Each structure stands twice: as C-alpha cells, then as structure tokens.
Amino acid sequence: MRSKLRVMVLVSLVMLFSFSLCGAQTIKVGFNIPLTGDIPQVGESSKYAAEILKAEINGAGGVKVGDKSYKLEFVYEDNESKAESATAAALKLITQDDVLAIIGPQSSKQAIPAGEVSNANKTPMISPWSTNPQTTKDRPYVFRSCFLDPFQGPVAAKFVTEEFGAKKAAVLYDIASDYPKGLAEYFKEAFEKIHGPGSVVAFETFTTKDRDFSAQLTNIVKSGADVLFTPQYYDEVPLIVKQAQELGWKKPIMGSDSWGSAELMKLCGDACKGYFFSTHYAAAGAKGATKEFIDKYKAKYGYVPDDVAALTWDAMGLLLKAIQETKGLSGKMEKDRDAVKDQLAKIKDFDGITGKMTFATSGDPVKCAVVVKISDKGEFEFFKSACP
C-alpha cells in the first residue's frame, strides 16, 4: 500500500512539475474579436493572421525572451460586435484566462469600452484597427497599430479636394457608432477648413441596423455636392453605393479604412469599382515582407488578406518585440504586464508590413496612410500615400 502511495505521489509531483514547466514556457495572448455579429469577417481576418504567425513562431522553437524560449498560446473570445460583449470578453481574458496581453477589439465601438477594462486591470491591449482617439486617451496600457481619425479625416478631405476638385461635399454616416461618427466629424472639420464654413452641404445620419438610406441620399443628390464621403463598414457600403446610384448619383464616392475588407467586393461588385478609400496598406502591387505575408495568407486561406489581417500581424509584431525587450519574464503576471506595457511605449521605428511605426507620448503610432483605388478587376490598388 505504501509502495502504491509513493508511486501516486511521485506521479503527482511529475505531473505538477510538467505543468509548471509548461506554464513557465508558454506566453498566453488573448484576442477580443468579432467572430459573429455584424462584421464577422473582421474577426476571421484577425484570427487567420494570428494562426499563421503562431504556427511560424512555435514551429521555429518559440519566442526567445532573455535566456528562455516560450511557445505562444492564443485564446480567442468572440465579442459579437457588441460593446457589452467586448468588455465581458476583456474581463474574462484578464481575470480567468490570465493572458499577458490582449489583441483587439478591432472596431472603435468595442475597443473604447474594452480599453477602459484593460487599462483599469493594468493589462496591455493593442487594437489593430480602432482609429477613434478615445480608445487610447489617458490609458497608458492601451495601444494601437493603426493611424487615428484626426489624421485620416484630413487625408480624405485633402484627397477629394486635390483629386476631384471638390468644393462641396456630402457626408453620410451612422450617428450611433463611435468610429463613423468621429471620422465624419473630422472630415467635415478638415473640408470646411479648406473650403470655408458651409462647404459640407449635406451632413446626413442614420442609425445602426438601418438599411434604407433613400431619404438621406435624396437630400445628398439634391445638395449639389461634388463628392460623397461615407466612412461606413464593408457590409453597409454596398447598400449605400447601390441606392445612391439608383437615385442618380454619378459623382465620386470616397470611403475610409472600414471599406478595406475582403468581403467588400463580394457584396458590392461592379458598383464599387472606380471609387477610392483611405486605408492602412494596399495588397495589389505589394513588395517585400508585405508581399510575403499576403502570399502566405492567400496560400492558406484562399483569398487576399485585408487591412485588418495585416494590422493584426503588425500588432502581434509590436507585442512580441515588447516582450523580448523585457529581457526576461518573471512569471508574476502583474509585474510582467507592467514590463510589457513599458516596453511597448518605448518602441521606435518598428518596420511593420503596414508601415513604419513609432510610439511617442501615447499608445498612438506615428505612421502614414495610403489611398487605394478599387480597380476594374475589383482589386485594392495603391494610389498615393499620405504621411504626418
């Protein structure tokens, strides 16, 4: 009986040692992403990019931090494209899953409240795609791998002025969603700074889930605007574009980075060809590390990665660089989260596939934007760049 007890104790000790060793050699990262809801393609893009990176790093022996190597473990939480689900997901990842850091949420409507949770719990969070300033404002633990709307709005306003000769503009946006509301306001401010008060001749709104925009678009068609700016998500753009065209709109339509999903052209087809939007990278004609990423993604999943996938790849790159720069993890979660946060804030000239990034005084990177044109083939072609 004693011999059997000794064996059981020995087995238990071996299992405990193995578990501790495994835990010490694993870096756990959480993903707060929309796998269901209004924009599931966004969550899919993030997860697919993350899975490629994880397989590459783990296959090569893991992440070297100090004198130890760690395998990556990813925990995916579906925020359902809802603010309340994003906060719940953030809290679960932090308090139950004990992740070192969080990637996401992507859209600002979820990233802003989730950022509050992450910052309150002193856990580093990097949003790949949220461009609203409120996501990182006064939150030292919250970062992003994309530019901000106060930069993107003027880029779009300047582009339509120079490229189309637009002197009057119309805007159509969802007033109930943080991202389009903020960007619409930044565009209006920038356009009227160039052309004077009242040059935005129609500033039309709708509410999330609306699918009939005929009243707003009728006003826009009658307004005399030279261009329509609509910073809406890829699932809404086709409805807006097609309804505008049916009502007689034949002038340019300008979009924002929320157009950049691989799903846009499946839903919009010929109706969106020839239009432009500001975004984070252009897949068509990409070179170097960006092309390598695109080729790997397309080979595995069968389609060209959108900007969300590319930004997720860069967000993970930023996080891994920060982890390595700690020179060693203590195994104490609170201490290690602080160390990662401190190293993220020090990153300069990070050479990402969506551009070079530097964090200065906040979690917002200094980086360039690009304007792409939707070609006759339905591809997102690089048209010009715009830098701070």
12 pLDDT above the threshold of 50: no
Q: What are phi and psi of 36, to 5 degrees?
A: -135, -175
Please state, as a whole number, how many other Cβ atoms lie within 10 Å of the Cβ of residue 388: 10
147 and 367 Cβ atoms separated by less than 8 Å: yes
Please state, as a whole number, how many other Cβ atoms lie within 10 Å of the Cβ of residue 145: 29
Structure-block tokens of residue 355: 């551009």
31 and 114 Cβ atoms separated by less than 8 Å: no
Picking from 252, 307, 267, the residue whose alpha carbon sits closest to that of residue 284 is 307
Q: What is the overall mean pLDDT for the chain? A: 93
Average pLDDT over residues 346-350: 97
Using one digit for the tens of pLDDT, what is the confidence trace for 290-311?
A: 999 999 999 999 999 999 999 9
Average pLDDT over residues 273-299: 95
305 and 298 Cβ atoms separated by less than 8 Å: yes
Structure-block tokens of residue 75: 């925990």
Residue spans of alpha helices (H) in the chain: 2-24, 40-59, 83-95, 108-120, 149-164, 178-195, 214-222, 237-246, 264-268, 288-301, 307-325, 333-345
242 and 234 Cβ atoms separated by less than 8 Å: no
Average pLDDT over residues 47-61: 97
152 and 184 Cβ atoms separated by less than 8 Å: no
Q: Assign 3-class secondary structure to 263-302.
A: CHHHHHHHHHCCCEEEECCCCECCCHHHHHHHHHHHHHHC
User: One-letter amino acid identity for 30?
Assistant: G
Map tokens 């609203």 to a residue.
Answer: 132
Spatial CB neighbours of 357, under 8 Å, sequence gap ≥ 6: 145, 314, 318, 347, 349, 350, 365, 366, 367
Q: Calculate what percentage of the chain has a pLDDT beyond 90.
A: 91
Indicate the pLDDT class of residue 21, thresholds 50, 70 and 90.
very low
Pairing mode, strands 125-127 and 227-229: unpaired
Instruction: Please give the full DSSP string across 156-196, using - where no structure is assigned.
Output: HHHHHHHHH--SSEEEEEETTSHHHHHHHHHHHHHHHHHH-
Question: What's residue 366's pLDDT?
Answer: 92
Using one digit for the tens of pLDDT, what is the confidence trace for 73-129?
A: 999 999 999 999 999 999 999 999 999 999 999 999 999 999 999 999 999 999 999
How many residues does this entry show for the chain?
A: 388
Question: What's residue 388's pLDDT?
Answer: 77
23 pLDDT above the threshold of 70: no
Using one digit for the tens of pLDDT, what is the confidence trace for 156-178?
A: 999 999 999 999 999 999 999 99
Picking from 47, 123, 65, 56, the residue whose alpha carbon sits closest to that of residue 312 is 47
Question: What's residue 387's pLDDT?
Answer: 87
What's this model's pTM, rounded to 2 decimal places?
0.87
Q: Does a cis peptide bond (omega within 30 degrees of 0) precede residue 105? A: yes
Residues 95 and 281: their CA atoms lie apart, in Å, by: 35
State the DSSP code for 364: P
Indicate the pLDDT class of residue 361, thresholds 50, 70 and 90.
confident
Indicate the pLDDT class of residue 285, thresholds 50, 70 and 90.
confident
- Give me the sign of the Cα torsion angle 358, 360, 364, 370: negative
User: One-letter amino acid identity for 44?
Assistant: E
18 pLDDT above the threshold of 70: no
Picking from 247, 311, 302, the residue whose alpha carbon sits closest to that of residue 107 is 311
Give first-to-last CA distance, the chain, whole Å.
75
Structure-block tokens of residue 356: 């070079």
**R_g of the chain, CA atoms, integer Å:** 23
